[in-house]
Structure 1
Amino acid sequence: MTETEIVNLDITVAIPTYNRASHLPQLLERLLNQTKVEHLNWEIIIVDNNSTDNTAEVIRDSQTKWKGNFPLRYFRETEQGAAFARLRSVREAKGQLIGFLDDDNLPAPDWVAQAVAFDKEHPQAGAWGGQIHGDFEVQPPEKFERIQAFLAIREHGEQPHLFDPDNLRLPPAAALVVRKQAWCDNVPQRPILTGKLPGLLVQGDDYEPLLYIHKARWQIWYNPTMHSYHQIPYWRLEKDYLLSLARGCGLCICQLRFINAKNWQKPIVFIRTFVGNLRRLLQHFIQYKGQSQSDIIALFEMEFYWGSMMSSLYLVKYYLSSVLSKKCK
């Protein structure tokens, strides 16, 4: 293990957060009341990614009133982006396992216990995600199940199975457990994909570390006994948000596929990504011609295919900007 503290706890629950102070008390209450954890040594850490609301005050108040027999720690990560908040979480975590929970994702009462139990049965697992159910403020649109995975909803049945990283079928970071050793030994300290930033909507930051872990031959599992509930407000089902989400999820595709590609494979990946998604885009347009503007699900899918096609060109732009920045230095 490189550049890490000695790990001596069973699990660290890490909560990266940004401007969601109102969500944190309920999440902390859920964690405080976890069941079947009496035998565990664990902790909670909050990583505040430059919040401008009263997140720090809320956590200080929670620490003052804390009744748990495990610590609640707080850190502020000044480099903006969810990827950097997760990296800080890993650096600060004292657990052998790190259970990431988004600040709007509420765990079932036995989430922590089930996370640790899975580790005992699957020592080759580098990461595992569970069932994430939608907790909707308003009714989702018809046929929403076709795109629900883009909003971090995962309901893949009651049997554990391996994910398929080679085809980018992976668990989201909204409720994800990683083995600290697998992360620290393989995930770079400077991510390619940082997470949503002002003016930059590219997604994929939660998949990037998993692909490095997979590349090192660790397994990525689906654990159906871990349940959590993603709180989805009305505005996340509105057209503007959904289309920006679809585009952002598409724009990272080529970069993600390059992570596990050998150098000789990269030109092939580049061309297949562009041509394959151009074909999907045209097929979708023909299938939904005259309907896509009124069918938000079809429109979402078209925007995703467009973003995936453009991800090849976005990758060229990324490398050119990297080269130019190095020359300027």
Structure 2
Amino acid sequence: MTPETGRQLRFAVLDMQVIDPPTGGSRQRLLGLFGQLGSATAYVGTWDWRGQSERKQMLTATLQEHLVPLTPAHFDAVEREAAHINGGTVIDVTFHRLAALSPGYVAAARAAAEVADVVIFSHPWCWPLVAPVMRPDQLLVYDAHNVEGLLRLGLLDDGARGTALARDVVRLELELCRAADLILACSAEDVDGFIRLYGIDGTKIRIVPNGAFAAALSPAAAKEREEVRGRLGLDASPLAFFIGSDYGPNGDAARFIADRLAPALPDTRFVIAGAVGQSLAGRALAANVRVTGAIEESAKADWLRAADIAVNPMFAGSGTNVKMLDYFAAGLPVVTTPTGARGLGGAAGAMRIADAPSFGEAVRSLVADAPLRLDMAAAARRAVERQFGWDRISPATGRLLASRAARRGPAPFFSVVVPTYCRPAHLDRLVAHLEQQRCRDFEVLVVDQSPEAWCGAAWKHGFPLRYVRTDTRSAVIARNLGADLAAGAVIAFTDDDCEPHPGWLEAARPAFDEPGVVGLEGLILSDKVGDPEWRSVTNDGFEGIGFMTANLFVQANAFHRLGGFDGDFEEPHFREDTDLGWRLQAIGKVNFSREAWVFHPPHRRTEERESLQARSRFFEKDALLLRKHPGRYPALFRAEAQWTHNPYFREHLLRGAARYGVTVPDELLDLIQ
């Protein structure tokens, strides 16, 4: 809703493909991402095949699909272009040049854009067609399914016509990125690609991951699974499932399964579903490989319910693999490559990540470990319900777009982000301390996960306050949500029970004038330090190694370039701040300030959730920290020396290692024996 008129925003989404039926990753993203934005959303697209008629239909309560067919002359021109690159698919990469041959489509796209408050280009192909009618007061958004420039260079670069087409895509995408007010990327890897390839300011990029339709796919109960397997003619052999469209990297994955995995694992049946099966045409396949070809959604659901695991041996590509979210929604544990795991922070417990040489052994060990598969299946479904369901992603994107469309005037220097859960008195005290800040160039974003709303949200404060409620209890997700909505050049993280000094922001401000500084760690003071009856929270003496979100400043550009906090460190949330601090240090300087300090009250160990035993389970996340930062973790391990005073540390570190498939080095194991 626009604050000036009080009316609902109008969204226009433009692309050159069909949404319905939502088969394939791009169509599913269009339906999932834009289906529940909260306001009227007009999609204009087309068919990439001949002989269709104009169609309009409502896909959701707010999303209308309007398809305008291309002309025969347009298809003729596409075929002439394709002949120059041996018949490859070029209808998308040539669309911005050839769409003048389809004036009906161009007119419909421009008409939708002209009446919209927010115009979203899903892929860059339509941008030049609509750019002439864009107005300065409209929010221009690029929804990037991939870094198209990098992707097309990989797919088309042939030293001839294909190279010219790929370079034209790079030029086109660069123009759109520069013009856009906001870029939606699928993964942190894509954010980094936009920054490195095009030099884009990371403050206008936000990660909006791909998702799954959680209600449409659900894990099968034992009886249902048995019935489906019988209907599909399957025996008791373990079944590993892969699905993909007819797309180069999918074809490479299918050939890897057929040529390497299946012969090495003859007791496991591999099913390769979808149009990707064309990449195996004419090949001699092992007896334990079944290729289904293109299948309907109902058949896909059957195979997902019948499978024991999913495999995703992707070695190239960009964005997030939507198939991974379908696997998770169906409760399937997955063995994937690092490329196949892009953009899926928060799902570490659902995946085993392996490179090509170790992939077969990872599949073998997972198939043999039924209890582990059950744990991973539960983690997979939980990840979808908490983070990767379109029913969560789409409304959150609507809030983000509405927030950006309504933004007026200069941005503040600081955005203070505070997650909170059921501690309104603490939050009141924190806000009182923020009201006393000598530096006034800040806004506050409170992300409340409590079942009851905080009454203080409606009060007048001496600073702009944005109050957002979510029913997902996760400090990691809450901080990332707050950062997504933040307008400041620097994001200041603190906890709801902290008490910032009046000079907190004032002391931090000059640190960011130093070239190369991407973050600042502020001093955290606490009482009862060393008292076993209390859990004190302080970083005094641990400067530059641990990092704590109770007092951490991050340059917004760097935060979004890195993809924010890694969701894998939630449930329970721990070490996500250390991980972010170490990643920040890899791209710039993170200094320490004793002047920009906050007080963090200690917590009594007699409180159940603060007891040493209860808090010790958090050290499962140390295994993830070790996996991501094997060269840095040993220094933190030795500096904290948890094993010297915490009898539960070893148990939970090793439990995390088993859960996440991590090998703890012998030199560390020797210390905790």
TM over 0.5: yes
Kindly indicate whether residue 626 of structure 2 is the aligned counterpart of residue 253 of structure 1: no
Kindly indicate whether residue 303 of structure 2 is the aligned counterpart of residue 303 of structure 1: no
CA contact (8 A) 2:522 2:592 kept: yes
- Measure how far apart 1:309 and its partner are: 3.2
Q: Which residue of 2 aligns with 1:73?
A: 466
Kindly indicate whether residue 541 of structure 2 is the aligned counterpart of residue 156 of structure 1: yes
CA contact (8 A) 1:104 1:230 kept: yes
Q: Which residue of 1 aligns with 2:437?
A: 34
What code does the residue aligned with 1:131 have?
L
1:23 is paired with a residue whose SS is helix
% identical aligned pairs: 21
The alpha-carbon distance between structure 1 residues 258 and 139, as it changes in their structure 2 partners (threshold 3 A), is closer
Aligned match of 1:3 in 185, 205, 216? 205
Aligned match of 1:187 in 563, 580, 603? 563
2:523 is paired with a residue whose SS is strand
Q: Which residue of 2 aligns with 1:295?
A: none
Q: Which residue of 1 aligns with 2:548?
A: 172
Aligned match of 1:313 in 658, 662, 665? 658
- Measure how far apart 1:100 and its partner are: 0.8
Return the alpha-carbon distance in structure 1 between the equivalents of residues 615 and 436 of structure 2: 33
The alpha-carbon distance between structure 1 residues 103 and 135, as it changes in their structure 2 partners (threshold 3 A), is farther
Aligned match of 1:204 in 540, 560, 575? 575
Return the alpha-carbon distance in structure 1 between the equivalents of residues 555 and 609 of structure 2: 37
Q: Give the TM-score of the pair, scaled to structure 1.
A: 0.67
CA contact (8 A) 1:77 1:88 kept: no
- Measure how far apart 1:186 and its partner are: 1.1
- Measure how far apart 1:96 and its partner are: 0.4
Aligned match of 2:487 in 73, 83, 94? 94
1:252 is paired with a residue whose SS is helix
Q: Which residue of 1 aligns with 2:526?
A: 134
Q: Which residue of 2 aligns with 1:82?
A: 475
Q: Which residue of 2 aligns with 1:52?
A: 451
What code does the residue aligned with 2:537 have?
A
CA contact (8 A) 1:236 1:242 kept: no
Deviations 1:115-141 (A, max 9, x none): 212222x332222222111145x9933
Q: Which residue of 2 aligns with 1:166?
A: none
Q: How many residues align?
A: 256
Kindly indicate whether residue 420 of structure 2 is the aligned counterpart of residue 17 of structure 1: yes
- Measure how far apart 1:74 and its partner are: 0.8
2:577 is paired with a residue whose SS is coil
The alpha-carbon distance between structure 1 residues 204 and 218, as it changes in their structure 2 partners (threshold 3 A), is same
1:47 is paired with a residue whose SS is strand
What code does the residue aligned with 1:213 have?
L
What code does the residue aligned with 1:14 have?
V
Structure 2 unaligned runs (5+)? 1-201, 207-403, 663-673
- Measure how far apart 1:172 and its partner are: 0.6
What code does the residue aligned with 1:258 have?
R
- Measure how far apart 1:46 and its partner are: 0.9
Return the alpha-carbon distance in structure 1 between the equivalents of residues 507 and 607 of structure 2: 31
Q: Which residue of 1 aligns with 2:326?
A: none
Deviations 1:34-71 (A, max 9, x none): 12x2xx5321111112x02442x2222x2xx32x1x31
The alpha-carbon distance between structure 1 residues 256 and 236, as it changes in their structure 2 partners (threshold 3 A), is farther
CA contact (8 A) 2:605 2:612 kept: no
- Measure how far apart 1:184 and its partner are: 0.2
Return the alpha-carbon distance in structure 1 between the equivalents of residues 627 and 427 of structure 2: 36
Deviations 1:201-227 (A, max 9, x none): x62232233333334x22232211111
2:568 is paired with a residue whose SS is coil
Structure 1 unaligned runs (5+)? 164-168, 197-201, 285-297, 318-329
CA contact (8 A) 1:95 1:180 kept: yes
- Measure how far apart 1:238 and its partner are: 7.0
- Measure how far apart 1:305 and its partner are: 3.1
CA contact (8 A) 2:480 2:564 kept: no
Return the alpha-carbon distance in structure 2 between the equivalents of residues 79 and 237 of structure 1: 23
CA contact (8 A) 1:254 1:311 kept: yes
Q: Give the TM-score of the pair, scaled to structure 2.
A: 0.35
- Measure how far apart 1:239 and its partner are: 9.5
Deviations 1:67-92 (A, max 9, x none): x1x31111123332110001011101
- Measure how far apart 1:188 and its partner are: 5.6
* RMSD of Structure 2 on Structure 1 (CA): 3.4
Return the alpha-carbon distance in structure 2 between the equivalents of residues 115 and 308 of structure 1: 35
CA contact (8 A) 1:171 1:222 kept: no
What code does the residue aligned with 2:547 have?
P
CA contact (8 A) 2:421 2:448 kept: yes
Structure with bigger RCO (C-alpha 8 Å, 6+ apart): 1
Return the alpha-carbon distance in structure 2 between the equivalents of residues 100 and 192 of structure 1: 19
Q: Which residue of 1 aligns with 2:515?
A: 123
CA contact (8 A) 2:565 2:577 kept: no
Q: Which residue of 1 aligns with 2:294?
A: none
What code does the residue aligned with 2:502 have?
P
Return the alpha-carbon distance in structure 1 between the equivalents of residues 564 and 541 of structure 2: 30
Q: Which residue of 2 aligns with 1:294?
A: none
Return the alpha-carbon distance in structure 1 between the equivalents of residues 561 and 530 of structure 2: 43
CA contact (8 A) 1:105 1:230 kept: yes
Return the alpha-carbon distance in structure 2 between the equivalents of residues 239 and 209 of structure 1: 25
Kindly indicate whether residue 443 of structure 2 is the aligned counterpart of residue 43 of structure 1: yes
1:9 is paired with a residue whose SS is coil
CA contact (8 A) 1:34 1:109 kept: yes
- Measure how far apart 1:191 and its partner are: 1.7
Which deviates further from its counterpart, 250-259 or 307-316? 307-316
Return the alpha-carbon distance in structure 2 between the equivalents of residues 236 and 228 of structure 1: 24
Which deviates further from its counterpart, 103-112 or 1-10? 1-10
Return the alpha-carbon distance in structure 2 between the equivalents of residues 125 and 194 of structure 1: 27
CA contact (8 A) 1:152 1:172 kept: no
